[in-house]
Structure 1
Amino acid sequence: MNEAGGPALPQPRKASEWMVALLEMPDDPDLRRRFEAWLSADPAHAVDWNEVSTTITALEDLRQERSDRTKADVPPPGRRGRWAALGVMTAMAAAIAFAAPGLMTRIQADHWTSVAEQRTVTLPDGSSVQLAPETAIDVAFDHRHRLVRLLKGEALFNVLHQSERPFSVEANGVEVVDIGTAFDVRRRTGGMDVAVLEGVIEVTSASSTPPVRERLQAGDWMRAVADKPAERGRMPVEEVAAWTRKRLVVKNQPVAEIVDALRPYFDGFIFVRDETIARERLTGVYDLSNPVEAVHAIARAQGASVVQVSPWILILSSR
């Protein structure tokens, strides 16, 4: 129990986790004492915290520019307001930390989308690909083969079949070969998720355990990840690529995965404070055009709470 009489939250282990905890409970003296003890326990902790603070200072101008555009939404002054402002700067710091790989992805990509942006691209062969938010693809066509590399995110492919020139999509060593169809592909750590809207595809994953080479038809889905058995199943065809209609349909999925799917639609950062919440499984339909309400709906389903410390930071945690 903490001094306020509520349940004790997990002990933060690194600077970013302490930042989230302090944002959530800025007036908790026990948390503050534990933070100071962590900070002094190891010189490396002080270095990590100092790096965060230095980056925050460097980003103050950027924070102020963005804050001015949404002035009505900024929390009032005071201790909560001070930590909220620090949280905004921390989010900016995190954005800079991820900027290098994001920049590399864009350098490699032929087409990409930003937060909450969807866009349809017509490929050189007349096929089309609808890009979900924060998605990037590289297109490599020649006279013998048509290859699209999904560098990031999720996309719905509508392919014009050419028997003499196969069409394939690759992500993390998993390959989908089209046999005249429409299918959805989502890149994930170590592999991909794929679901078929119509027609037939062939999925190959040499890194799965055991290796996979299988044909899927309309309504089939597969998750292929390195060093794991492939997962397969069926779903209503109308639920394939539901994101194109601003709907997120989940069935018995961990909250951590649901939040991951919401992040590209939210212009900010969503933190899941409690590992117990992250592991809980939910079934439901969420509105991708309103990711803030979607996070609140997840909280209601679990008896949890959401703290919005700025327009760009949501913290999902136990009550």
Structure 2
Amino acid sequence: MNRSVDSNAPDGAATSAAEQAADWFARQETGALSEAANLEFRAWLAGDPANAQAYDAIKCMWSTYDLIPPSAVGEQLAVESSSSTRLTSSVIVSRRDFGSRRRRFHPKLIGMMAAAVCALAVLISFNYGARWQADMFTAVGEVRTVSLPDGSTVTLNTDSAVRLRFDEKRRIVELLAGEADFKVTADRERPFIVEAAGGSARALGTQFAVRHDETGATVTVEEHDVAVTFMSTPGAQPQTQTLSAGQSVTYSSAAGLQAVRSVDLDRATSWRRGWLSFEDRPLGEVIDELDRYLPGWIKITNPDLRARHVTCAIPLDQPALALDHLKQTLGLRTVRLTPYLTLIRE
């Protein structure tokens, strides 16, 4: 997309069809597009069937959102602000950068967040499609360890799905959606390969995790070495990186195979032990991660609020109560427009 055409074009951070559709929809709801922007929108709409599908989902669900009277939002906000919930498990949060100043709940931001949730239909259909193809999968909020035919084990994180292709020559696991941690039994005659998002991670005897979302995949190595290969387009020269323990790499069709980086394995794998652990991370990242363990969507209405940093450890056995306690500790407010859409504000 050519960003020089119009200074009000969607934010470059919006990389998925769902995010771009929400951005375009919000701009149209809050003011007429310029002629140049309208041409750019039409080109985006025609450029990929996924774009049109995401935009249609937003328009459909927006009509439902319009039926919610403003008074109901105000009443719900009052109820949420006055209620208090005791969290039995500990949630540790740093209040750094959280002052007492309150910002106005801007209608445009409400529109953008409500529009974004409309793309939920597109994302849900992807995961349910993956489940139909899967040999094993987990529900939202479920973490489960399963033994594989060769004696290896896979721990599936929330809302994940895998398909197996084992034969006499190789062991292939296709990660259709979500995240999985593999503890591999060594077999030099049959390499163990995990395929996800157009790339692959090959190991013999080792432990590593692969995460697959709508933007690409990330491989994190916990023991020994893993060779990661990615081909950006059919027929292109494959890109390969060899990772050692404590290293991670991300790849996608948009950015290719990115640079290898070091990671804190305790934090990166804390979900296997029933926790989400963050140190000095943006609140938006924390909420997005917690959102994976709850049905529906949780959205922060203010970009500045998303960018503020926190340190926290969140128990996954009670994610809804953890969200309530996080909200109270940081002095935030929530509006539950539906059982599947919660907005967070200051």
Normalising to structure 2: TM-score of the pair?
0.62
Partner of 2:317: 289
Once residues 119 and 232 of structure 2 are traced to their aligned partners in structure 1, the CA distance between those partners, rounded to angstroms, is 31
- Quick one: higher RCO (CA 8 Å, sep 6+), 1 or 2? 2
CA–CA distance in structure 1, aligned partners of residues 31 and 20 of structure 2: 9
Report the Cα offset of residue 277 of structure 1: 2.9
Count of residues in correspondence between the two structures: 268
Contact 1:196 1:240 in 2 (8 A): no
Structure-2 residue corresponding to 1:182: 207
Partner of 2:104: none
Tell me the residue number matched to 2:226.
Answer: 201
Q: 2:302 aligns with which of 264, 271, 274?
A: 274
State whether residues 57 and 121 of structure 2, in contact with CA within 8 Å, keep that contact through their aligned partners in structure 1.
Answer: no
Match of residue 238 from structure 1: 266
Task: Give yes or no for the alignment of 1:52 onto 2:61.
Answer: yes
Q: Is the 8 A contact 1:273 1:315 kept in 2?
A: yes
Partner deviation per Cα, 1:138-162 (whole Å, 9 max, x = no partner): 1111211111111111111011111
Q: Judging changes above 3 Å, is the alpha-carbon distance between structure 1 residues 248 and 51 closer, same or farther for their aligned structure 2 residues?
A: same
Question: What one-letter code is carried by the residue in structure 1 that aligns with 2:332?
Answer: S
Q: Is the 8 A contact 2:232 2:252 kept in 1?
A: yes
1:251–1:178: structure 2 CA closer, same or farther, 3 Å change rule? Answer: farther
Aligned to 1:67: none
* 1:31 aligned residue: none
Distance in 2 between residues matched to 1:191 and 1:14, nearest whole Å: 16
Question: What fraction of aligned residue pairs are identical, expressed as a percent?
Answer: 28
Q: Secondary structure at the match of 1:177?
A: strand
Q: Of 130, 139, 143, which aligns to 1:118?
A: 143
Q: What residue number does 2:252 align with?
A: 225
Could you tell me which runs of 5 or more consecutive residues in structure 2 were left unpaired when the two chains were aligned. 1-18, 33-37, 39-55, 80-113
Q: Cα RMSD (Å) of the superposition?
A: 4.5
SS of aligned partner of 2:232? coil
Which amino acid in the other structure matches residue 261 of structure 1? E
Q: Distance in 1 between matches of 2:246 and 2:228?
A: 14
Check whether the contact 1:210–1:229 (CA below 8 A) recurs between aligned residues.
Answer: no
Distance 1:306 1:155, change over 3 A: farther
> Structure 1 residues 79 and 166 mapped into 2: Cα distance closer, same or farther (>3 Å)?
closer
- Return the offset for 1:117: 0.8
Partner of 1:215: 242
Deviation at 1:97, TM superposition (A): 5.0
C-alpha change, 1:169 and 1:253, in structure 2 (3 Å) is farther
C-alpha separation in 2, matches of 1:124 and 1:266: 31
Distance in 2 of aligned mates of 1:154 and 1:120: 12
Name the SS for the 2:260 alignment partner.
strand
* Matched-pair contact (CA < 8 Å) for 2:179–2:211: yes
Q: In the TM superposition, what is the alpha-carbon distance from 1:231 to its structure 2 partner? A: 3.6
Q: Could you say which residue in structure 1 is the equivalent of 2:7?
A: none
Distance in 1 between residues matched to 2:257 and 2:267, nearest whole Å: 24
Q: Secondary structure at the match of 1:153?
A: strand
**Aligned partner (choices 169, 181, 202) of residue 144 of structure 1:** 169
2:14 alignment partner in structure 1: none
Paired letter, 1:183: F
Offset at residue 166 of structure 1 (A): 0.4
1:294-313 to 2 correspondence within 5 Å? 294-295=322-323, 305-309=332-336, 312-313=340-341
Kept after mapping to 2: 8 A contact 1:306/1:314: no
Give the equivalent residue in structure 1 for 2:84: none
1:299 is displaced (CA, Å) by: 5.7
Give the conservation status (yes or no) of the 8 Å contact 1:296–1:305.
Answer: no
CA distance in 2, matches of 1:123, 1:313: 37
Match of 2:155 in 1: 130
TM-score between both structures, scaled by the size of structure 1: 0.66
Q: Which residue of 1 aligns with 2:198?
A: 173
In 2, the alpha carbon distance for the partners of 1:169 and 1:187 equals: 11
Q: Is the 8 A contact 1:91 1:268 kept in 2?
A: no
Answer yes or no: is the 8 Å Cα contact 1:304–1:316 preserved in 2: no
Supply the distance in 2 between the matched residues of 1:284 and 1:126 (Cα, whole angstroms): 36
Q: Does the 8 Å contact 1:105/1:136 carry over to 2?
A: yes
CA distance, structure 2, for counterparts of residue 228 and residue 253 of structure 1:
25
CA–CA distance in structure 2, aligned partners of residues 103 and 263 of structure 1 = 17
User: What is the alpha-carbon distance in structure 2 between the residues aligned to residue 225 and residue 236 of structure 1?
Assistant: 22
Shift in Å, 1:56: 7.6
- Specify the alignment match of 2:184 in structure 1: 159
